[in-house]
Structure 1
């Protein structure tokens, strides 16, 4: 499972970071999925190895501009690229009105099927590689996290055992995978006896803006990977004259540790934090790691991470 960060800034772009967008691709799958689509996401895609022609579905976490203002340009460019495969967009109430308005006013005729589905908290969606549950967050507008559970692999044959009997790959393998018994060399082979143990699917939560990571509750327990905002360090947040509903590095670290999250990637970083300067990005990482003892990364634009079936995250 590969995650490509196309934008990691909070609120507005900086010289180092664009606003929020994250691409997700599964092993041995040509298509990919986009989570949020801030302004200029299509520019970021051009600088990556991703292709609009392979984009299958977009999930919008909430209707703040830094998470969805990139949609009109991306949808139009898809047409101009003659990438006319159907596209689905899931998001909160209001996403249909926004996209319909853009298409009506600009007289945009996309030339491909665009399906817009408004979701609500606790909805469950099923796709060919995974299921997804919509989780409510705490923010100034309705905001969601998307909890993905990859399907378990339950039909993998014990090829070594079959070959020991003299049965090499053939249509009979397909019968066994479908759970049907077969006869080989006069002996009946029961399908269940030649299946490997199920391979557990990976589970990931990709969160929108959220001031209370604890609200994710049981969904966090033993989670393979949490992608969550970490907009401020605690000391900066405490000094803000106006408090915004975002998570601090301290609160994120405490929550992830308490719920035994295996891997954490922090994103949606306040523009005040840069690679160098009074507020540097290392401050976010250092504060999280005071409280969280699992594997932690701070995402930068164009960072690519791989979550293996062993539950280990590696930066590629």
Structure 2
């Protein structure tokens, strides 16, 4: 027997239009009625024709997620899997699917987003990073296509975004190391054209400046150098006549590489070098030694971004266009006073 929307309505004691609204995820229907209608749909084995519904409503019930590197690399970093988990949780709850796209360069990212927006393959897009004068963001604004940025765009502070206060986070880490007695503190981060990288570097620089310390450029190096040859980068750092006793590190994956290379070269953490990372990778508490890190609420970043995007897609009122997820420091054994 072919069950119709009318059969569901009759069994649930509601109108066919109410069943239709429940299927489309309308917030105008009470939770009790929604649950009753869904229970009847399951009991009768009714499956809405989503393709036909989407053609009528001109929606895809899908949101896009742009990963800033190819998929193989992205999911080696648990930041991306955890933020995706938050997005997927919120999207699934609202009856939306998630479509992932990747790009190895800014041009590839722009091409991927153009295909999604022009082809109306998704109803909105979540971006996981921004650059200064970002062409992807410029394109989406020009097309008036719904999107949310996980991060910050310094040129366009009014766009919908979810972020941490990365300046304050790196400031707090550097202050913590200063309070432990470190005065020679280095920084290992990403390219400064990425806003998150420049923000964290700025927080590091501010904390040092407050203590009358100028960052030593010999102790500031990029993530790419570590990824290419961590051992060579560490050797060059540690063989300097005056070397740092602590490092603020852009993320925990980089911190793990540094720990491995320091150990390989015969240096100890935290005795010879204190290390403090970001993102609180699940491996950080169980590494050797356990890595100090900043919990930036990665799951919450994804959850909040998806919620904000869905409100934008549905033209619902948005109280805050920029949502800040709080961070917290998690000092562990890798960050101790000098010479510990």
TM-score (norm 2): 0.27
TM-score (norm 1): 0.28
